[in-house]
């Protein structure tokens, strides 16, 4: 009957040859047309009509999508997508592949929950080699790679959906990529803490052709990893589609009663789930034991789930059994809980503890307080509900974290999704053109890091050791993240290199010892010194005349070797600019110049938020900008430099000259015979009407103002910051000269004086704080 109907359809086409085009909608696959007998003949005839431009064949067929799930965790993310695909049978043909720990009794035989969700499992692959150590993981990947080609060859999916960062998923992606099967990767671009999971996740991203990522930062990381932006979709996490709909269900009391006990109330119990860190198994086992000790001491009802199948899980289970957790009246230890019930338990818990991704992802949607232990999740984006305990020697720190978190409620976070991930993914799948090539394009955007809470941020103050090498004094300070000088130490600067280095190390060691008393954690050492510095190598190339025996000196190596801390070194003028960028008027300003008006004149230039050093590290030697060809001699050997006109040394020299000529002192000026003549005497004399002193200061003001105008016309900063003891005297005159002599477009640039008390020390500290706090400790 089918043959007759089809033959009749074909005959109707031959009766309208006169038409230019005829639409013919084939409701079955083209491959069936070329089967046998009359179907083959009709197909050949229709092909001839196409060649004659008499007919268009439109082949409508469903997109065949294979979804591969390896464990209970990834199924919670994949199940919403599977339900979405299943609800559109006219568009998608769903194939389900199950492998990994789903099929192992010790881990709950969780494939049964897939069957209970009424999915047909087309392929079950036993791919796990038992042993729960590193070698077993490698062998499991190999076994999966042996078995997967036959399955993929049989299914021939148009696209394979793979989730996350598991070793099983790596085998799936490897096999599919080598067989030219398109891969859609879920949760690419996310970062944990440098464990093997991160490496696997990024390896899968590089094998995948399309990406459905959960956060804006993950999207940016994928772009930075060279992935094509047009093939990246920011969807949110698919599990949020389900958990947000179950958030307000009223059966949570029955679920709590079933899993924890009759008398337990909402927010009066703890959910614990800790997995091994495969790159540091022994440490993760230690943290696991300390967590159990803290939970035992905390004495609250606790639902604890067994760890996953990663290397180290057997040892963790042994620790749990050695402590009698399974028999303890406060604990309920289980291998698996259905996702909908588990998420209700997390939602209404007084606290969740461990290192499961659920704690930093799903728990945030409910505002459940979370304690994240160890390093497994520290790179992940989190809401304010997550408190990190990266390391602990006793269970006391974890116990203290429980005291801080238990029973709190935080604002709900939507970092990982808004509940509409599946519709976005289905729309993305519909848009895939199977005729498109699979080649990738590349781009490298910048990515900003986020800051998360940390138990050590609460218990300790992250700080830097700051060293300032002046011509007279050597100063060391402990400086906190907020720029507070916790403690400062001052000693006369020795004249010889050896004595100076010994004193620096001694003062730093003393400060580190005191830092413990002040509850400060020292992250590194920043050194500010006069002269030309190569900050990349930590070497003083040429110093000022005030600091003897201080050229071609490697400061980084001996200080770092003695203190076992990272060390940064830079010129004192550059440090002043860095201090303004982090703590002063330059905070948030992309382009500005700092000019130090002290004994000498120096400074630093910030351009596009970065410090300029120059090709030979002598950028921003602002004191040696020449404003006259035949001016006074400068300490650098040239003439007419700013420093020769406007520095403290220059004003002191002129004050002494007037004093020697008996032209300095005027009526009302208090001046003791024994005191040394300084720039302050010159300024005071000018204020009291000394015309000679006033003329010298006017010349200094003018020279500095002209130099600043030159800087404005060269760098075009948006702000000029004057620092040093003479800054307040120079501010108004310099602003006036800018208004008179600068180009119209630069006349609006403001001159301000620094509010910072110790710019050299603060700038040296900022080198440490800005760099080290980008990393997690």
Residue positions annotated with a catalytic role = 572
358 annotated as belonging to a binding site for a ligand: no
Q: What DSSP string describes 301-341?
A: EEEEEPP-SSTTHHHHHHHHHHTTGGG-TTEEEES---HHH
Q: Side-chain half-sphere of 230: how many Cα atoms within 13 Å?
A: 9
| Residue spans of alpha helices (H) in 383-486 | 396-405, 421-431, 455-459
Contacts by 491-496 with C-beta closer than 8 Å and gap 24+?
A: 493/469, 493/547, 495/548, 495/549, 496/548, 496/549
SS3 23: strand
Instruction: Please write down the HEC assignment for all residues of 506-551.
Output: HHHHHHHHHHHHCCEEEEEEEEEECCEEECCCCEEEECCCCCCCCC
Q: Which two three-digit tokens encode residue 365?
A: 């949607």
**CA separation for the pair 400, 636 (Å, rounded):** 59
Phi-psi map region of 609: left, alpha, beta (phi>0 left; psi -120 to 50 alpha): left
Kindly give the pairing relationship between strand 532-534 and strand 539-542.
antiparallel
The span from the CA of 168 to the CA of 741, in Å, is 70
Nearest to 127 by CA among 108, 154, 150, 148: 148
Closest CA to 677 of 695, 693, 658: 658
Relative to beta strand 210-213, strand 232-234 is parallel
Torsion angles phi and psi, residue 127, rounded to 5: -120, 0
In terms of Cβ atoms closer than 10 Å to its own Cβ (0-12, 13-18, 19+), residue 654 is buried
Q: How is residue 106 written in tokens?
A: 């010790």
728 membership: H or E segment, kind and range: helix 727-741
- Work out the angle between the directed axes of helices 313-322 and 281-298 (0-180°, nearest 10): 30
Is 634 one of the annotated binding-site residues? yes
- Annotated ligand binding at 328? The verdict is no
CA gap 129, 171 in Å, rounded: 14
- According to the annotation, is 636 in a ligand binding site? yes
Cα–Cα distance for residue pair 258/261, rounded to 1 Å: 6
Sequence-distant (6+) residues with CB within 8 A of 247 are 347, 365, 366
Distance of CA 635 to the CA centre of its chain: 46
- Known binding site: residues? 624, 634, 636, 641
- In the annotated binding site for Zn(2+), the residues are 624, 634, 636, 641
């Amino acid at each position: 009957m089918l043959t007759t109907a089809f033959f009749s359809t074909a005959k109707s086409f031959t009766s309208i040859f006169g038409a230019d085009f005829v639409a013919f909608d084939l409701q079955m696959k083209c491959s069936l047309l070329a089967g046998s007998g009359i179907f083959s003949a009709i197909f050949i005839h229709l092909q001839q009509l196409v060649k004659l431009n008499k007919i268009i064949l439109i082949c409508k067929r469903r997109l065949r999508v294979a979804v591969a799930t390896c464990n209970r965790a990834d199924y919670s993310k994949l199940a919403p997508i599977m339900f979405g695909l299943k609800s559109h049978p006219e568009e998608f043909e769903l194939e389900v592949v199950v492998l990994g720990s789903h099929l192992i009794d010790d881990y709950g035989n969780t494939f049964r929950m897939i069957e209970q969700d009424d999915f047909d499992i087309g392929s079950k692959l036993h791919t796990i080699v038992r042993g729960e150590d590193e070698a077993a993981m490698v062998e499991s990947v190999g076994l999966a790679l042996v078995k997967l080609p036959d399955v993929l060859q049989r299914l021939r999916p148009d696209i394979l959906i793979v989730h996350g960062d598991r070793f099983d998923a790596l085998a799936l992606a490897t096999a599919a990529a080598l067989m030219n099967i398109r891969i859609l990767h879920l949760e690419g671009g996310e970062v944990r803490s440098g464990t093997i999971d991160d490496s696997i996740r990024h390896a899968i991203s590089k094998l995948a052709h399309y990406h459905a990522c959960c956060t804006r930062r993950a999207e940016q990381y994928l772009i930075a990893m060279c992935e094509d932006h047009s093939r990246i979709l920011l969807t949110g996490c698919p599990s949020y589609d389900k958990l947000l709909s179950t958030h307000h269900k009223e059966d949570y009391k029955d679920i709590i009663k079933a899993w924890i006990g009759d008398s337990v109330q909402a927010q009066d119990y703890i959910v614990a789930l800790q997995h091994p860190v495969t790159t540091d198994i022994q440490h993760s086992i230690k943290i696991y034991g300390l967590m159990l000790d803290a939970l035992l001491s905390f004495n609250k009802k606790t639902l604890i789930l067994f760890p996953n199948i990663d290397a180290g899980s057997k040892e963790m289970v042994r620790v749990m059994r050695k402590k009698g957790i399974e028999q303890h009246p406060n604990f309920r230890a289980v291998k698996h809980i259905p996702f909908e019930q588990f998420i209700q338990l997390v939602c209404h818990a007084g606290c969740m503890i461990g290192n499961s991704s659920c704690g930093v992802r799903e728990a945030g949607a409910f505002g459940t307080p979370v304690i994240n232990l160890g390093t497994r999740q520290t790179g992940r984006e989190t809401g304010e509900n997550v408190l990190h305990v990266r390391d602990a020697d006793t269970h006391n720190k974890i116990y203290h974290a429980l005291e801080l978190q238990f029973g709190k409620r935080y604002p709900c976070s939507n970092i990982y999704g808004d509940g509409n991930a599946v519709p976005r993914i289905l729309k993305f799948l519909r848009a895939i053109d199977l005729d498109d090539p699979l080649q990738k394009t590349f781009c490298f955007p910048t990515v900003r890091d986020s800051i998360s809470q940390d138990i050590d941020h609460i218990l300790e103050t992250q700080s830097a050791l700051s060293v300032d090498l002046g011509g007279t004094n050597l100063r060391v300070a402990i400086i906190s993240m907020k720029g507070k000088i916790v403690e400062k130490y001052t000693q006369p600067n020795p004249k010889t290199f050896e004595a100076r280095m010994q004193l620096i190390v001694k003062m730093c060691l003393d400060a580190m010892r005191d830092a413990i008393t002040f509850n400060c954690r020292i992250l590194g050492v920043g050194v500010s010194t006069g002269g030309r510095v190569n900050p990349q190598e930590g070497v003083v190339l040429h110093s000022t005349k005030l600091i003897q025996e201080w050229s071609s000196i490697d400061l980084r190596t001996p200080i770092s070797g003695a203190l076992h801390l990272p060390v940064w070194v830079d010129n004192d003028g550059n440090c002043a600019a860095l201090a303004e960028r982090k703590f002063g008027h330059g905070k948030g300003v992309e382009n500005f110049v700092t000019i130090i008006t002290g004994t000498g004149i120096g400074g630093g230039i910030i351009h596009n938020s970065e410090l300029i050093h120059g090709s030979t590290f002598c950028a921003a030697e602002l004191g040696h900008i020449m404003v006259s060809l035949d001016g006074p001699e400068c300490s650098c050997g040239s003439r007419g430099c700013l420093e020769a006109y406007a520095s403290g040394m220059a004003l002191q020299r002129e004050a002494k000259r007037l004093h020697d000529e008996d032209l300095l002192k005027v009526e009302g000026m208090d001046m003791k015979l024994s005191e040394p003549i300084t720039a302050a005497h010159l300024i005071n004399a000018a204020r009291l009407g000394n015309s000679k002193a006033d003329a010298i200061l006017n010349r200094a003001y003018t020279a500095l103002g002209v130099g600043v105008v030159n800087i404005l016309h060269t760098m075009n900063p948006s702000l000029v910051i004057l620092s040093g003891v003479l800054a307040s005297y120079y501010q108004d005159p310099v602003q006036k000269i800018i208004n008179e002599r600068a180009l119209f477009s630069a006349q609006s640039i403001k001159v301000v004086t620094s509010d910072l008390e110790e710019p050299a020390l603060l700038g040296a500290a900022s080198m440490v704080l800005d760099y080290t706090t980008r990393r997690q400790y």
